Amino acid sequence: MSNRTGVVLLGFGEPEGVDLEEVTRFLERIFLANAGLEADVPGGAESRSRFLADARAPALTEVYRAIGGSPLMTQLQAKREGLERELARRGLEIPVTLGTQFLTPSIGDAVGWCREHAIERIVGLTTYPVCGRSTTVASLEELSREVEARDSFAEIIGVGGWHAHPGFAAVWVTAIREYAQGEGVQLLEPGSLLYFSAHGTPLKYLERLPYTEYVEALCSTIAHSLGGVEHVLGYQNHGNRPVPWVEPDNESLMPSLDADQVLVVPISFIHEQSETLSELDQDLADLAKSRGLDFYRVPVPHDAPALLALMADLVEAALDSPGTELLRSCNCNPGAWCTNGRANGF
């Protein structure tokens, strides 16, 4: 390749340890980045974000302590290394660096690394399969800002949502089948229910981005591939701000089910984190069991070779043939590419 190319793997980040101040800073960055969800508040966005972080941090720190610390960053680093190896196996000696929205290394750190290493073309690949406003869109926007702040030293090829890659549903189908077989769960027997749990989002973020449509389509594809199993979809919402979120939330949906057992699939995630190890394995499991349901949860296939191969496919397509069958112009991220672009966007 004539231009020196690098990949910036974009992720959310989550503290590994249980240090209260670290957790508070992490939350404060998240609340500040999403300050637009609320109207003007007394004291301004920074004061409000600090207030929300101080209120939430003690409980979240206890969550991290209960799960032994979040494994997200360890798994994200493993994915960075694995993607670099997979690209090299394909004859592409392309360095992959990591940039997170709310921890170190930051997206700015990753862009600084690219400049130091004379990278002229950056593939910004998000680790959010289903495109969301505060994740996919925000991380690609930040990548662009950081490059522009350094004299626009490199071309950016952004890859946004990729849940519609033909191999992604297959990764989950394999994970579900293998787990169900190991646990002796018969998904097609009466009383069994496949329960998809997705990361929630405020309704405001749906105004120009059809996140729920993407999630619903992905869940339907997986359920169909498993033989047409009965399935439902709930959302993991967070009530830190007084704003409406998508429905149904898990707390309302789970008690309403007419089933004997549920097999929970954390469909939005490609890493284990507090939202799987605590919100699902503890909170949702307790709720299900209190209703007399047998509870099973499919582990996130974060280290599946097929997932790394899929991500390498995206990098190759971004470099060689954006605008063709796999990657199309993204309606949610102007100037970026994705697997679910449509002629009539939102």
pLDDT one digit per residue (tens) for the chain, 346 residues: 446 999 999 999 999 888 999 999 999 999 999 999 987 776 789 999 999 999 999 999 999 999 999 999 999 999 999 999 999 999 999 999 999 999 999 999 999 999 999 999 999 999 999 999 999 999 999 999 999 999 999 999 999 999 999 899 999 999 999 999 999 999 999 999 999 999 999 999 999 899 999 999 999 999 999 999 999 999 999 888 889 999 999 999 999 999 999 999 999 999 999 999 999 999 999 999 999 999 999 999 999 999 999 999 999 999 987 767 789 888 888 889 999 754 333 3
pTM of the predicted model over 0.75:
yes
Kindly list the domain boundaries of the chain, sorted by start residue: 20-66, 168-297
Residues 6+ apart with CB under 8 A from 43: none
Task: Outline where the chain has alpha helix (H).
Answer: 20-33, 44-66, 72-89, 107-116, 138-148, 168-183, 211-225, 250-253, 274-277, 285-290, 305-320
Q: How far apart are the first and last CA of the chain?
A: 35
> Could you give the CA distance from residue 288 to residue 190 in angstroms, rounded to a whole number?
18
Report the amino acid identity of residue 190. Answer: P
Whether 143 and 11 have beta carbons less than 8 Å apart is answered as no
Query: Domain 168-297 - what CATH class?
Result: alpha beta
